A = this chain, B = another copy of it.
Amino acid sequence: MTKRKHEENGNGTEENGNNGSKKNKTDSLEGGEGSKAAKQLHLTAFMRPVSLHTGAWRYPGAYPDANFNLTHLKSFIQKLEAAKFDAFFMADHLAVLNMPVEALKRSHTVTSFEPFTLLSALSQVTERIGLAATASTTYDEPYHIARRFASLDHISGGRAAWNIVTTGNPESAKNFGQDEHMQHSDRYKRAREFYDVVTGLWDSFADDAFVRDQKSGTYLDPEKMHVLNHKGDELSVRGPLNIARPVQGWPVIVQAGQSDPGRQLAAETAECVFCSPKNLDAAKELYADIKGRAEAAGRDRSSLKILPAAMIIVGDTVEDAQSKRLKVDSLVHYDSAISSLSIALGTDASEFDPDGQLPTNLPETNASKTSRAGVIKLAETEKLTVRQLASRYGGYAGLCLLGTPESIADTMEEWLKEGACDGFTCVMPFLPQGLDDVTQRLVPELQRRGLFRNDYEGTTLREHLGLARPKNQFFE
């Protein structure tokens, strides 16, 4: 397995102002009282063109055609860049038929631009913001993935990130010549090896391999080219990659798994972790667990940033924000609400009594186990009926930070200081208004408190995130 080597971080963006190894550090809070500069939040936007919230396309002012209208996407990313966001993330899925037709009919989330083409286009209308594409390790080839991210990184001047997913949706298999979705544990096994191959391919050429000496006619130095010759359990890839080493060395690695193998993959590979903890305690547990696993894997705690995903709803008052949430939730049709619940459970929920409790004899699932367990827990804790659960899952089921700019900033500050996160992955409840509320109302409040940057300091995504540029594992 690839052993990560990190270069000295020369740009002073490590949060605790300490460039050396932090192996001896026992305090779980980075940038605590002893640090030179106060720790700041990292903010990314986790996007689908119309929003991740299923009712959003019907919200007043929404752009229901944003899935295929680049103009809207350009304005979103430009606003996020003006607000100095670390990155713009594109969610991605590989199948349409993961819900009954009655729900599909309501869905604005299954069809949209493909991430690499979209982010490459958006790289030309922005200058600093990071560009994170979701790509599957289950249904793609490492040579293609390595190459495309390297190319996006070159094209954008060092702003690419890879959101590694193993693809939860079992319907995807049928679009790629397979009858059955690969088992959860096999998907994670392949993902881990896939990561080794991709990062190995990124290191195919030393940074100074391309000599381009017109006089002697030497274009590249073959001594500075590494042939990977990977032959593993799942993959066999010779290399080298047909592209120079990415500007960032490696594009930033992002990972979202929450199950045990998901957390382990994050701990071993990720530099940015999305996750979806339900509350502060769960976030602290997850934070400590993943950072602990990373340390156990020989990594520095500060080499991965944990950014819980949260839908953010800003109002003039808490009640105003609550009523916005009620409004957008009310726009989710029951047909899709119930099917979202089915997906979350990995079981068809349309047969259940809408006004009864969730049955206790639910079957196991090969889709996301974390998700299924989450539904069961929520139903128990809040004693929700199937209908109530469905409208929660039909809209956006994850963490929601809701209130005034000040109250949301209070919560974010608390999470940061309590060691529950290094920032947030912001989910917009509806667009463009929900995004404007975040960039124009919440961000200035965070900046006023010194919790968020007033301007970018570097040019690459690694620099925004305070991550070192990885050393080439095959060359000094």
Give CA–CA (A57, B219) in the complex, Å. Answer: 9
A240 touches B121 (CB 8 A): no
Residues of B within 8 A of A64 (CB): 212, 214, 219
Tell whether A296 is near chain B: CB-to-CB under 8 Å. Answer: no
Residues of B within 8 A of A104 (CB): 220, 222, 225
Indicate with 1 or 0, residue by residue over A101-125, a CB within 8 angstroms of chain B CB atoms: 1001111101111101110110111
Given contacts A238-B174, A243-B114, contact A217 B331 (CB under 8 A): yes
Kindly specify which of A146-154, A299-307, A309-317, A443-451 makes contact with the partner chain. Answer: A146-154
Counting chain B CB atoms within 10 Å of each CB, the highest count among A106, A171, A243 belongs to A243
A148 touches B117 (CB 8 A): yes
Residues of B within 8 A of A152 (CB): 117
Partner of A116, one of B95, B117, B150: B117
Partner of A124, one of B124, B144, B218, B222: B124
Partner of A120, one of B101, B118, B221, B244: B118
Give CA–CA (A225, B171) in the complex, Å. Answer: 16
Closest to A144 in B: B140
A70 touches B154 (CB 8 A): yes
Residues of B within 8 A of A155 (CB): 70, 113, 117-118, 121
Give CA–CA (A112, B151) in the complex, Å. Answer: 8
Give CA–CA (A282, B345) in the complex, Å. Answer: 64
Tell whether A352 is near chain B: CB-to-CB under 8 Å. Answer: no
Closest to A173 in B: B238
Residues of B within 8 A of A141 (CB): 139-140, 176-177
Counting chain B CB atoms within 10 Å of each CB, the highest count among A64, A113, A218, A220 belongs to A113
Tell whether A242 is near chain B: CB-to-CB under 8 Å. Answer: yes
Tell whether A276 is near chain B: CB-to-CB under 8 Å. Answer: no
Residues of B within 8 A of A243 (CB): 68, 111-114
Give CA–CA (A176, B230) in the complex, Å. Answer: 11
Closest to A67 in B: B244
Closest to A109 in B: B219
Q: Supply 17 A–B pairs (Cβ within 8 Å), ascending by A.
A: A64-B212, A68-B243, A68-B244, A94-B242, A96-B225, A96-B240, A97-B238, A104-B222, A111-B220, A114-B150, A117-B151, A120-B120, A120-B121, A121-B121, A144-B144, A175-B239, A217-B333
